[in-house]
Amino acid sequence: MDIPSKKTKVMFVITKSNFGGAQKYVYDLATNIPKDQFDVVVALGGTGILIQKLKEQNIRILPILALTRDVNIASDVRAFFELWSIFHKERPDVVHLNSAKAGGMGALAACFANVPKIIFTAHGWAFNEERSTLQRLVIKFFSWITILLSHKTIAVSNATKDDVCRWPFVKNKIVVIKNGTTKPDFFTRDEARAKFLALTNTPLPPDTLLACTIAELHKNKGLQYSIEAIAKLVSSNPSLFYFILGDGEEQERLNTLIKSYGLENRIFLLGFVEDASRYLTAFDIFVLPSITESLGLVLLEAGFAGLPVVASQVGGIPEIIENGQSGILVPARNTDALVRAIQSIISDTEMRVSLSFALSQKIALYFSLSRELAETLPLYTKK
């Protein structure tokens, strides 16, 4: 009689439980890895929608009560011991860490708990954010320690790997596995537009041109520049409206900026919208004005929706968007460049169609979830 082989127990760990790019990455892996081979559990901080989504898929959840994104010595110490206790009790074969805070503390706690395999995914590096020189040096040091303590670090883009691959003793620890996704279950264009009319309670003319961004309202996303660009464009493009889907710490400041331009009925901060990607078919242009970005998972969804994209030429974005071929790239923090790029797409219908078609083809060929899974799963079982 054959004795069934023991499943490999994989524990994903992530700091926040909202539904940004890193959280979607965890969700996609946790819900799609073969259940006959792997036993999956997710440990996470916060009380966000990721918890609900995972529970709906019957994924076991372990809350980490003290784990938060902000630095706080007392809560960070408690979070470390929570993680150590969870690892010691659960005895996972693999701990797969995501985000800087969970990565650093999780790698150390996993080492103390003798976890056989520690994987860390770098969804971006905090030292690329707007910080003081001292803060960047400290963050670089702890990022280096995280890579050293992990058996393997996944970089989600070549740019993410290039940021650290020359550091001492890390070259052979880093592998590039670019994000993948599946085509969202899009609403039809009419359905999506009707739902947005209900959300904004604003009548729109039939020939309305809708631009959008889906992003966390964080300084890293550079949303002030897209708002400033739209403010410059509306006088010559009266049918142009701009929707930003997402919530975050920048909401009040961005609302104030919109009001300063008198564009409350032209630019809309809609806050968190559940399953936001399903609404992408409502729009005509997708804008991602990030200051720093490891890859930009939302660009894959915009590609599946057949949208022309204007995005910043930072991080791993050029690995998705080839300037002039599958989208338009602009320098970060450059409002005038955004204005020119968006205007060129508005003015040239043929370009709009060409860019969106090329991007959709590229996403389907190179950024599938099946490819991401095929490259990631061997890391869990390889000796």
pLDDT digit string, tens, across residues 243-298: 999 999 999 999 999 999 999 989 999 999 888 999 999 999 999 999 999 999 99
pLDDT for the residue 2: 47
The CATH-assigned architecture of domain 8-180+369-381 is: 3-Layer(aba) Sandwich (3.40)
Give me the mean pLDDT over the 230-234 stretch: 97
pLDDT for the residue 206: 75
Q: Where are the domains of the chain?
A: 8-180+369-381, 189-366
pLDDT for the residue 171: 87
The Cα-based distances of 210 to 8, 135, 287, 370 in angstroms read: 46, 39, 11, 32
| 8-180+369-381 and 189-366 have identical folds | yes
Assign 1 a pLDDT band (cuts: 50, 70, 90): very low
205 has pLDDT over 80:
no
pTM for the structure as a whole = 0.92
44 has pLDDT over 60:
yes
Query: Which of 2-6, 58-62, 108-112, 190-194 shows the lowest mean pLDDT across its residues?
Result: 2-6
Best CATH choice for the domain 189-366 from the list 3.40.50.300, 1.10.490.10, 3.30.420.40, 3.40.50.2000: 3.40.50.2000
Give me the mean pLDDT over the 302-330 stretch: 97
3-state secondary structure of 196: helix
Assign 5 a pLDDT band (cuts: 50, 70, 90): low
Give me the mean pLDDT over the 355-380 stretch: 96
